[in-house]
Structures are given as structure tokens and as C-alpha cells.
Amino acid sequence: MRVLIVKNYDEMSKEAGKIVKNRLEQKPDLVLGLATGSTPLGLYKELIRMHKEDSVSFAKVRTFNLDEYLGLKPDNEQSYHYFMFENLFKHIDIPRENIYIPDGQTKDPEKFCQWYEDEIEKAGGLDLQVVGIGGDGHVGFNEPGSSLASRTRVKTLDEGTIKDNSRFFAKPEDVPHFAITMGVGTILESKEILFVANGAGKSAIVARAIEGPVTSQVTASILQIHPKAVAILDEAAAADLQRKDYYKYAEEQARRFEKSL
């Protein structure tokens, strides 16, 4: 895994934006997996800026979101549908029919989840999946104990996740207890994974995910077995990494090497 440590949230977002832009240049019909939460907000601002200022187009892009709460309508302000339209989609040129977000209102979750998997496959698979990490190490909503081979399905949210996410809701009781999430196996099949994390609150779990054992107890640790994963961390989130100095040194060497070509 490539580990890129940058100064702050702003730089994390810009570096992540550069990667997305580069992949879009290589493949304008990129199949892009997206996450919600606080962490990728800066990246989405950066993508909007690139669209407006640098004419980056999303007209041929297809997006698949990682997850959605079960039971929330798309126009509910706490739904991930609402989040994605407000924070990204309504500001860029992506056609509505190219946007896939799990349906939190489905009456037949099992059938829906299979359909979602089939649509990813029909699109040719995910090219680049953006992920964050939860306080308990979850990737998507794959809470500790999720099978590392799991596919898109309904998961019961961990109490800690409900507490963490209650910051977005008027009352903690309003946080749904279930979500549809891509499985760990689904995420692992993406050709590339872009992992972003920031802030001191994430440093301990980031260290477990990147340097601890690969385990279903920290589902984000699967990044370690992915052939093409890049972690972009700010200094605060990287603080507990034991090999921090090496990652920085390796990045410097890689830049020097690229310049020499």
C-alpha cells in the first residue's frame, strides 16, 4: 500500500483530487466508487472546483456509493442520497442515470443488493473506490466481524457508529440502526482504492488498519491485501504509524525517481 502523509486536511483533499483527476484523464468513463461522511467533503469540493475551473468533465462517469441508511427517503437531509447530491452531484455534469446509491427504501433488500452487485459488474467493475474509516475500523458500513468476503447486503450498525453518526442527526434516536453497504469483498474487487483519513481522532484506528493484522475486526485492514491501494493521511491521522518516517522517505524517493525519468 502506498501511504502518503500530508500536512493537513486541505492537502489531503487536494492530493486525493489529483488522483481522481488523473484517473479521469486516463479513462473519461471511469467507474467511481464514492463514500459519504466528513472526510471526503474536501475531496468533493476539490472535484467541483476542478469541474468549474479546469473543465474536468464527469459526463461519462458512473458512480456507485458505498452505502445508504435503511429506512431514509432520498430527500431526507440525513440520507446519503441527499448528502451526495448536495455536496457533489448537483454541482457537476454527471447524468442522473449514471448515479447509483443503494436504495434505503427498498422493500426487498436482498433482491436490491444483488441488483446493485450486478450493476457494478455490468459497468465493468469499479475502477477507483474512495473509502474512509470509521472509529471502529469499518470500511463502508462493514462493522467489526464482517466477513472479508462479504458482498452488498444489510448490516446492523455498531453502537459506536450510531453514536459517531448522531452528530448529523437532531437526536441520537433518529440514527437508523441498519444500512445497505457494499461488502468487503465488493470493495476489494475495485481496481484501485483511495483511502482518506484525517484528524487525531482517527490515528489509533488508522495505525491498526495499515500496520496491524488483516482482520475482520478492523475491516479497513483489507487495504493491506489490495494490489493497488493508496492511503492519504494528514499528519494528525498518521501520528500513530510506526513506520511513518519510512513512508515519507519512500514518497520523497519516488518523486526523485519520477523526476529522473
What residue ranges bind ligand F6R (CB under 6 A)? Answer: 35-39, 66-67, 132-134, 138-141
136 is catalytic: yes
Give the nearer residue to ligand F6R in terms of CB position, either 69 or 247: 69
CB of 181 to ligand F6R, least distance (A): 7
CB of 53 to ligand F6R, least distance (A): 25
97 is catalytic: no
Give the nearer residue to ligand F6R in terms of CB position, either 167 or 256: 167
Q: Which of 103, 117, 127, 143 is catalytic?
A: 143
67 is catalytic: yes
Report residue 141: phi and psi, to 5°: -110, 35
127 is catalytic: no
Residue 58, all three cell numbers: 464527469
Residue 261, all three cell numbers: 525519468
- Pure H helices in the chain: 9-26, 41-53, 80-87, 109-122, 159-165, 184-188, 203-211, 235-238, 244-260
Q: Which of 103, 117, 136, 158 is catalytic?
A: 136
- Pure H helices in 129-217: 159-165, 184-188, 203-211
CB of 24 to ligand F6R, least distance (A): 21
d(Cα 131, Cα 145) in Å, to the nearest integer?
18
Just list the catalytic residues.
67, 136, 138, 143
